[in-house]
């Protein structure tokens, strides 16, 4: 079967070069460890960008998938399959409010479903239903705009790059899909001002910005967003693709920041199935006043024929995800994420390194902000960002981490990481920092 060509040559010749890849050729993994084609071992503190939440090859997940592969892999969504229904219920329970779930394949696709939900809401509804409030008004202006945040990341589809608050993802793909209004994150005045625009129908935010460098929303900001969305009958949409389903030490990222706030809809992907491609949205069942006069649950706006995807919610992936979520519960991994996230953040701060400006951490979502003058104190190859330079130096000592922008290193280890692994990662980072030019 093998072509005999070296891996890098295969990529060079046959894979479209959309990614700036590091040179590692990874071959197998177990738990927190991963090995390259030459058998060199690495401690995996990237977890495939917050995806392999149980590390590599958890025996219970392997066994569940093995069984399900033999039983039923795919049927299409023309039929009912039990694992999809069970997983939907599990996710509704995790949110803790009545609603329903739609399954897809990735974070960008989950967010696409949120954009389409917002369109339906703005086109076909007047707003949330309130027995005392105004009823149907077929002539009310349509609302199609979505307020999103500077520094956000929502995926690489055309909708995703329009929603994302970073210019670098848009370059060369203009014109952008219209209707997204970007505002400074965590700025309540800017949020209130943006929502004055009568075209705005939703606010979309990551409770903790991940790709933007691990920046949590303040609890006051989340509360202000909820209050504003209530007042203007706008949807509050949380992108929990990176921060959701356990990483922060709670099932929901927003619960770690402001558990009293509930969104109207949520998107997930990444850690949801421990490494298998699955995305999903939860949508609240709260009643909506349709222009037609009908009152119906928000979660029924995307009705038959309005949205879909061939691979969404297959029995194979859903049973894998159910097992992943059960293991997180059975092995008390939410608590582990809280305890070891704090241990990692404390240990990193205790380094008192002049190369580290700040450590930001919410559970096992850690952002290590490198000093702003890093590049002036440490000569870097032309065009190389300090974050990428550090990630490469850490590869040399056997630690995988993820860069974020030019100055942030992300640590996103599996939720079942152990204290000894954290201590080893801190030691490896410390050794690399010690090898940099000393002041
Ligand atoms: C917050 C957030 N939303 C959406 C996405 C896009 O997810 P995917 O790459 O699965 O399309 C990402 C990916 O990094 C993300 O971090």
| CATH number of the domain enclosing 358 | 3.90.1150.10
Q: Please name the residues in contact with 71: beta carbons below 8 A apart, sequence gap of 6 or more.
A: 315
pLDDT band at 105 (very low <50, low <70, confident <90, very high): very high
- Given this model, what pLDDT does residue 86 score? 98
Q: For a substitution probing ligand 1, which of 46, 52, 108 has the most ligand atoms within 8 Å of its CB?
A: 108
Whether 2 maps to a domain, the answer reads no
Q: Which residues line the pocket of ligand 1, CB cutoff 6 A?
A: 49, 106-108, 111, 153-155, 206, 210-211, 239, 241-242, 269
Cα radius of gyration rounded to whole Å, the chain: 22
| Per-residue pLDDT tens digits for 134-144 | 667 777 889 99
Residues 339 and 380 in one domain: yes
* Ligand 1, atom 4, residue with closest C-alpha: 154
167/160 Cα distance (integer angstroms): 12
- Given this model, what pLDDT does residue 139 score? 77
Q: For a substitution probing ligand 1, which of 155, 238, 245, 275 has the most ligand atoms within 8 Å of its CB?
A: 155
- Given this model, what pLDDT does residue 138 score? 75
* Tokens found for residue 293: 């006069």
Residue-wise DSSP of 384-395? --HHHHHHHHHH
Q: Integer distance in angstroms from the first to the last C-alpha of the chain?
A: 54
Q: Is 304 exposed, middle or buried (0-12, 13-18, 19+ CB in 10 A)?
A: exposed
Q: For a substitution probing ligand 1, which of 47, 53, 104, 107 has the most ligand atoms within 8 Å of its CB?
A: 107
| Per-residue pLDDT tens digits for 14-60 | 999 999 999 999 999 999 999 999 999 999 999 999 999 999 999 99
Whether 53 maps to a domain, the answer reads no
* Ligand 1, atom 7, residue with closest C-alpha: 107
Residues 264 and 376 in one domain: no
Instruction: Give the Å distance between the CA of 179 and the centre of ligand 1.
Output: 20
Instruction: Give the Å distance between the CA of 133 and the centre of ligand 1.
Output: 37
Whether 220 maps to a domain, the answer reads yes
Q: Where in 58-151 does DSSP place strands (E)?
A: 99-104, 125-128, 145-149
The closest alpha carbon to 216, from 190, 242, 196, belongs to 242
Residues 114 and 189 in one domain: yes
Whether 55 maps to a domain, the answer reads no
Whether residue 175 has a cis bond before it, omega within 30° of 0: yes
Whether 98 maps to a domain, the answer reads yes
The mean per-residue pLDDT over the stretch 114-143 comes to 88
Residues 185 and 36 in one domain: no
The mean per-residue pLDDT over the stretch 270-274 comes to 97
Residues 234 and 336 in one domain: no
Query: Given the DSSP bridges, would you call strands 33-36 and 41-44 parallel, antiparallel or unpaired?
Result: antiparallel
pLDDT band at 439 (very low <50, low <70, confident <90, very high): low
Instruction: Give the Å distance between the CA of 347 and the centre of ligand 1.
Output: 28
Residues 344 and 378 in one domain: yes
Q: Give the global pTM.
A: 0.98
Give the residue from 306, 329, 352 where a domain finishes: 329
Instruction: Give the Å distance between the CA of 436 and the centre of ligand 1.
Output: 33
Tally Cβ neighbours within 10 Å of residue 425: 26
Residue 33's domain spans which residues?
A: 7-46+332-435
Give the residue from 288, 310, 329 where a domain finishes: 329
- Ligand 1 atom with the smallest distance to the CA of 156 is 11
187/209 Cα distance (integer angstroms): 14
Residues 347 and 273 in one domain: no
**What distances in angstroms separate CA 224 from CA 63, 66, 94, 409, 430, one per listed residue?**
45, 46, 23, 30, 40
What is the total count of domains within the chain? 2
**Helices and strands (H, E) in the chain, number of each type:** 14, 20
């Amino acid at each position: 079967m093998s072509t005999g060509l070296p891996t890098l040559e295969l990529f060079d010749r046959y894979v479209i070069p959309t990614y700036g890849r590091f040179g590692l050729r990874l071959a197998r993994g177990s738990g927190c460890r991963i090995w390259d084609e030459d058998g060199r071992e690495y401690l995996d503190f990237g977890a495939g960008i917050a995806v392999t939440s149980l590390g590599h090859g958890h025996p219970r997940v392997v066994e569940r998938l093995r069984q399900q592969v033999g039983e039923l892999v795919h049927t299409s969504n023309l039929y009912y399959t039990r694992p999809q229904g069970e997983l939907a219920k599990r996710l509704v329970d995790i949110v803790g409010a009545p609603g329903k779930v739609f399954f897809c394949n990735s974070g960008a696709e989950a967010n696409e479903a949120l954009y389409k939900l917002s369109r339906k809401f703005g086109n076909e509804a007047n707003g949330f239903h309130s027995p005392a409030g105004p009823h149907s008004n077929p002539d009310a202006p349509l609302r199609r705009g979505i307020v999103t945040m500077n520094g956000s990341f929502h995926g690489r589809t055309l909708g995703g790059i329009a929603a994302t608050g970073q210019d670098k993802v848009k370059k060369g793909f203009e014109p952008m899909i219209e209707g997204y209004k970007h505002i400074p994150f965590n700025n309540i005045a800017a949020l209130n001002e943006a929502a004055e625009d009568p075209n705005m129908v939703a606010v979309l935010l990551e409770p903790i910005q991940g790709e933007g460098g691990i920046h949590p929303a303040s609890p006051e900001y989340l509360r202000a967003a909820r209050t504003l969305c209530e007042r203007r009958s706008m949807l509050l949409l949380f992108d929990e693709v990176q921060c959701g389903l356990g990483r922060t030490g709670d099932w929901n990222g927003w619960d770690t920041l402001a558990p009293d706030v509930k969104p109207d809809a949520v998107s997930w992907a990444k850690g949801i199935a421990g490494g298998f491609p699955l995305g999903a949205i939860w949508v609240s069942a709260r009643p909506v006043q349709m222009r037609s006069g009908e009152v119906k649950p928000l979660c029924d706006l995307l009705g038959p024929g309005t949205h879909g995807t061939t691979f969404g919610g297959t029995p194979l992936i859903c049973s894998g995800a159910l097992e992943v979520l059960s293991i997180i519960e059975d092995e008390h991994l939410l608590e582990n994420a809280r305890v070891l996230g704090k241990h990692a953040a404390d240990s990193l701060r205790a380094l008192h390194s002049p190369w580290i400006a700040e450590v930001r951490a919410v559970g096992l979502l850690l952002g290590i902000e490198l000093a702003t003058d890093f590049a002036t104190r440490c000569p870097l190859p032309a065009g190389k960002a300090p974050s990428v330079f550090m990630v490469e130096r850490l590869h040399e000592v056997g630690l995988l981490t993820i860069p974020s922008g030019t100055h942030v290193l992300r640590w996103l280890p599996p939720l079942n990481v152990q204290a000894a692994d954290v201590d080893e990662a801190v030691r490896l980072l410390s050794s690399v920092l010690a090898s940099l030019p000393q002041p």
